[in-house]
Chain A
């Protein structure tokens, strides 16, 4: 079994866990009393850089980074992410930190609440607003989900740095083909079940919960919607339902295997009106054929009386062979597993908001 570093952002701090020789060891909660909505691991550097978005109820938001695998955390004196003075907006929190493509090793993106996209060109230390998306005429009509109005998904195209796809709740999917100079919605085929029947396929406004990119084909995407699971084979140009075979089409996270094409995973809930797992069993579902069929993944998760959920960024995969999956719950349990068995890494944590993992050399 591979050695692994696991970052779990919670509502009241950051947990680091390490698996060595098959056993998990957790460290005391770092960044206490901050909600860590986003964590990220930039493996493009000689020494991986870890990121944590930490928001204090009192003292506001920031992004910290670590170049020593979590032994210490740093931040610039000036706010790493902030709206420019000429814009009457203040950062609520950073919901997503996403390293850019391989050929742009110093580029890192941040998605925020309120819905905005920021770009760093210094390895994720300081960020600047991408104005064209902020100035988009649709912005006034973007709504807010339960958690707030935020860009929570950023997918830089791995082969073309000019192409970036983002998703927000609510507002839906937007993409650029010119490095962020212009943006257009890309939600064709995604249903908005919260609208009247005749208005349920709008140009934008969908409550997309998460999007993931296929390992074999960067133009193939998987999407967990607020009711609905979809696939696109043309980088978001059109979307088709792949929910058949799932026990529920509501949910928050969706994860693609970073090594194997056509493999994706999610955590189905019954519906938006019943946000529980089917049968109150804790089950991960996976596909090995790009969503044509789905099956339960692994054994060892709670079989009964499970009333919690997994939030959109609290589920991730590593790049190991065999694959490692990691997820955290709102009730503070952290699990690691795969097609074989699941193992509890930690429990009694605050609500788990974000999880990322990397294989340790």
Chain B
């Protein structure tokens, strides 16, 4: 299955200049019904683009506090967090939260 990851411009430099990348998750890593989770997608990202992944998650694989992640328009904090299930073809948005001064 394949999902699309959309990035803010500030992170494009860690993805070869791309704002949108396709991430293929092998069926063997997908769960029931050929769905996967945000965490598994980010695990794949850690293997392919580690400098990008470590800006989204810390070394415990926890999504950083001021990073918002949406799946098909829904904030994963209102769903199941990193364990939110994702269907084939879904879009994940990574968006900086309100922070700083």
Contact = CB atoms under 8 A, between A and B. Distances in A.
A, B assembled together: yes
Interface string A62-82: 100000000000011111001
A85 B59 contact: yes
B92 interface: no
B19 interface: no
Interface string A81-116: 011010011110000000000000000000000000
Contact of B67 (A33, A58, A90): A58
A75 B51 contact: yes
Contacts of A56: 55
Contact of A59 (B50, B55, B59, B62): B55
A148 interface: no
Nearest to A90: B58
Interface residues on B, range: 10 to 19
A83 B55 CA distance: 15
A91 B51 contact: no
Interface residues of A, number: 19
B59 A79 contact: yes
Given A57-B99, A83-B59, A91-B58, A78 B50 contact: yes
Interface string B68-101: 0000000000000000000000000000110110
B74 to A, nearest CB: 20
A60 B60 contact: no
Given A57-B99, A59-B11, A90 B59 contact: yes
A91 B64 contact: no
A13 to B, nearest CB: 12
B60 A88 contact: yes
Contacts of A76: 51
B100 to A, nearest CB: 4
A350 B80 CA distance: 39
A57 B100 CA distance: 6
Contacts of B60: 83, 88-90
A213 B96 CA distance: 42
A62 B97 CA distance: 19
B24 to A, nearest CB: 20
Interface centre among B58, B59, B67, B96 (most CB of A within 10 A): B59
Contact of B66 (A58, A77, A82, A91): A58
Given A33-B100, A58-B64, A59-B67, A91 B59 contact: yes
A58 B99 contact: yes
B54 interface: yes
Contact of A60 (B49, B54, B100): B54
Contacts of B59: 79, 82-83, 85, 90-91
B18 to A, nearest CB: 16
A88 B64 CA distance: 15
Nearest to B64: A60
Interface in B29-77: 49-51, 54-56, 58-60, 62, 64, 66-67
Nearest to A85: B59
Contacts of A91: 58-59
Contacts of A62: 54
A58 B54 contact: no
A82 B58 CA distance: 9
B51 A59 contact: no
Interface of A: 33, 56-60, 62, 75-79, 82-83, 85, 88-91
16 contacts: A57-B100, A58-B55, A58-B96, A58-B97, A59-B10, A59-B11, A60-B64, A62-B54, A75-B51, A76-B51, A77-B49, A77-B51, A79-B54, A79-B59, A90-B58, A90-B59
Interface of B: 10-11, 49-51, 54-56, 58-60, 62, 64, 66-67, 96-97, 99-100
Give the top 6 A-B pairs by smallest Cβ distance, nearest first: A59-B55, A90-B58, A82-B59, A57-B100, A58-B96, A57-B99
